[in-house]
Chains A and B, each alone.
Chain A
């Protein structure tokens, strides 16, 4: 039930996209988002859409899986469309109900904004879908390294993210188990008014917090007894390697951006 959320989930696979160096992938994702803002006309969006479609196909992730990630954000997407459609005052009026007036410019804006949002979400979820959490945080740590000089605790941040990501499935599992155990004793998490439901969560939350604290404690002890200390002079078992495919990916991305700039200028 709770496990149905796909946003931010990792989808194991063996494609080229999966194998890219996570540092490169993060930078490419940032470039992808930037490129999104170069596009200002329909032709550009078609090129952009095709590009996205091809990348998803190469990644071997089922398209419906990527689309499923959009569902939790449907509300924001609809709201964006609504605001853009009715708040744009220029252009020819198409129709109007009372104070709500939609112009041709407004409709165009709404479509563009929605497309932008869709690509934004799909692009970023492609990053998390094809990169295991460990690699992702490794990549972030490496990219943040230069900022250590100005006091950014890169290693600590990455370690915190790794631990948090590591424990999400564990906590979900634990929630599921405790919920079932209490339901077996007749607890009801689904019906009743808001107050009753909030009260009904006590039998779930108390054991959950206790176990989360216990786990945190155990983990800290385990790390300390193995002499963990952050950051400096730590070596890694798996080094991140930038390969030929990474350079090709970078070239492809630059080509896309160049093409989009050309289309805008012409």
Chain B
């Protein structure tokens, strides 16, 4: 197990009148190379959980092991953990600060102690990964468009070459083409480098089509885990938690209710297309 979380509890502002328990007995194992989708209603504790993974937040109680090392231990080398677990925050473009895009992307690797030459290579590589032109490198990050800023910020984390990549709603507020492209890049990085990825998202469609396993959080607890199929077929249960199945699932269910002979356990547009084609071709025979 590359990540092992054992009985994790966390309370914000402990001891003040604003005390708020955000994680309640979370236990979770994630294997090397898994692509995890983390979903949950707003305020369910997703962001809190992922910030524990590189010790930006310290647990109130419980243990976290990353690559076999207990990171709740005081003696741990925090820098090393932070270069192994890359964390892309919600709206990462708000963290850009350097004079040029190049310098901003290089910030992470330089902090991690990578040599100047290697940094240069990594910056170019990361830039390619997020689909930006090399011509932006010498521009100020503040001249870029919103989508380009987002990509530059994600590149800043990817350039650190983390073994585990955690993304908190990386596509929120992007146009559909930009969203698809970024998701595709993340997926291909996952396959090519056999990276472990945790993706937080409110888009059930995106989650259904790219992750291996879904973890559902509800009120600070892990409510369900399983493949997209296992999770989304329990529509009632996830609706009770303020979530939903992908839209196409509802379409297929409606078709079935109208008497069409389609399977209703369909979670992506691709699956739906195949199923409908099968049905139509079958009818033609």
- Kindly list chain A residues whose C-beta atoms are within 8 Å of the C-beta of B160: 185-186
Beta-carbon contact of B97 and A203 below 8 Å: yes
- Kindly list chain A residues whose C-beta atoms are within 8 Å of the C-beta of B89: 177, 180-181, 184
For the complex formed, measure the closest distance between the CB of B27 and the CB atoms of chain A, giving whole angstroms. 24
- Kindly list chain A residues whose C-beta atoms are within 8 Å of the C-beta of B87: 181, 184
Stretch with Cβ within 8 A of B (4 or more), from A139-147, A206-214, A236-244: A206-214
B148 close to chain A: CB less than 8 A: no
Beta-carbon contact of B111 and A207 below 8 Å: no
Beta-carbon contact of B95 and A178 below 8 Å: yes
For the complex formed, measure the closest distance between the CB of B145 and the CB atoms of chain A, giving whole angstroms. 16
A188 close to chain B: CB less than 8 A: yes
Beta-carbon contact of B82 and A186 below 8 Å: yes
Beta-carbon contact of B51 and A185 below 8 Å: no
Pick the most buried of A178, A184, A187: most chain B CB atoms within 10 A of its CB: A184
Beta-carbon contact of A185 and B97 below 8 Å: no
Q: Which of A3, A11, A12, A181 lies in contact with B92, CB distance below 8 A? A: A181
Beta-carbon contact of A180 and B56 below 8 Å: yes
For the complex formed, measure the closest distance between the CB of B196 and the CB atoms of chain A, giving whole angstroms. 16
A182 close to chain B: CB less than 8 A: yes
Beta-carbon contact of A207 and B17 below 8 Å: no
For the complex formed, measure the closest distance between the CB of A205 and the CB atoms of chain B, giving whole angstroms. 8
Beta-carbon contact of B51 and A180 below 8 Å: yes
Tell me, in angstroms, the Cα distance from A128 to B143 when the chains sit together: 43
B157 close to chain A: CB less than 8 A: yes
B244 close to chain A: CB less than 8 A: no
Closest B residue to A184 by CB, please name it. B87
Pick the most buried of B13, B89, B94, B156: most chain A CB atoms within 10 A of its CB: B94
B108 close to chain A: CB less than 8 A: yes
Q: Which of A3, A12, A184 lies in contact with B56, CB distance below 8 A? A: A184
0/1 string, A164-208, CB within 8 A of B gives 1: 000000000000011011111111100000000000001100110
For the complex formed, measure the closest distance between the CB of B207 and the CB atoms of chain A, giving whole angstroms. 23
B83 close to chain A: CB less than 8 A: yes
Q: What is the interface residue range for chain A against chain B?
A: 20 to 34
0/1 string, A68-102, CB within 8 A of B gives 1: 00000000000000000000000000000000000
- Known contacts being A184-B82, A186-B108, is A3 close to B95, with CB within 8 Å? no
Tell me, in angstroms, the Cα distance from A11 to B89 when the chains sit together: 31
Within 8 A of A (CB), among B88-107: 89, 92, 94-97, 107
Within 8 A of A (CB), among B9-37: 13, 17
Beta-carbon contact of B112 and A186 below 8 Å: yes
- Known contacts being A177-B89, A210-B142, A211-B94, is A183 close to B108, with CB within 8 Å? no
Tell me, in angstroms, the Cα distance from A188 to B51 when the chains sit together: 17
Within 8 A of A (CB), among B104-120: 107-108, 111-112
Beta-carbon contact of B95 and A182 below 8 Å: yes
For the complex formed, measure the closest distance between the CB of B172 and the CB atoms of chain A, giving whole angstroms. 15
- Kindly list chain A residues whose C-beta atoms are within 8 Å of the C-beta of B54: 184
Beta-carbon contact of B97 and A186 below 8 Å: no
Closest B residue to A203 by CB, please name it. B97
Closest B residue to A209 by CB, please name it. B97
Beta-carbon contact of B142 and A183 below 8 Å: no
Beta-carbon contact of B96 and A207 below 8 Å: yes
- Kindly list chain A residues whose C-beta atoms are within 8 Å of the C-beta of B94: 177-178, 181, 207, 211
- Kindly list chain A residues whose C-beta atoms are within 8 Å of the C-beta of B13: 3
For the complex formed, measure the closest distance between the CB of A60 and the CB atoms of chain B, giving whole angstroms. 11
Tell me, in angstroms, the Cα distance from A86 to B64 when the chains sit together: 55
B45 close to chain A: CB less than 8 A: no
Tell me, in angstroms, the Cα distance from A180 to B82 when the chains sit together: 11
Tell me, in angstroms, the Cα distance from A3 to B16 when the chains sit together: 10
Tell me, in angstroms, the Cα distance from A187 to B112 when the chains sit together: 9
Beta-carbon contact of B108 and A207 below 8 Å: no
- Kindly list chain A residues whose C-beta atoms are within 8 Å of the C-beta of B97: 202-203, 206-207
B79 close to chain A: CB less than 8 A: yes
Tell me, in angstroms, the Cα distance from A187 to B13 when the chains sit together: 24
Sampled A-B contacts (12; CB under 8 Å): A3-B13, A178-B94, A178-B95, A180-B51, A181-B92, A184-B54, A185-B107, A185-B111, A185-B160, A186-B111, A187-B111, A207-B95
Nearest 8 CB-CB pairings of A with B: A186-B111, A206-B97, A185-B108, A181-B95, A184-B87, A180-B56, A181-B89, A203-B97
Q: Which residues of A contact B (CB under 8 A)?
A: 3, 11-12, 177-178, 180-188, 202-203, 206-207, 210-211
Known: A180-B89, A183-B82, A188-B79. 18 other contacts (CB 8 A): A177-B89, A178-B94, A180-B51, A181-B87, A181-B92, A181-B95, A184-B82, A184-B86, A184-B89, A184-B157, A185-B107, A185-B108, A185-B156, A187-B107, A187-B111, A188-B111, A203-B97, A206-B97
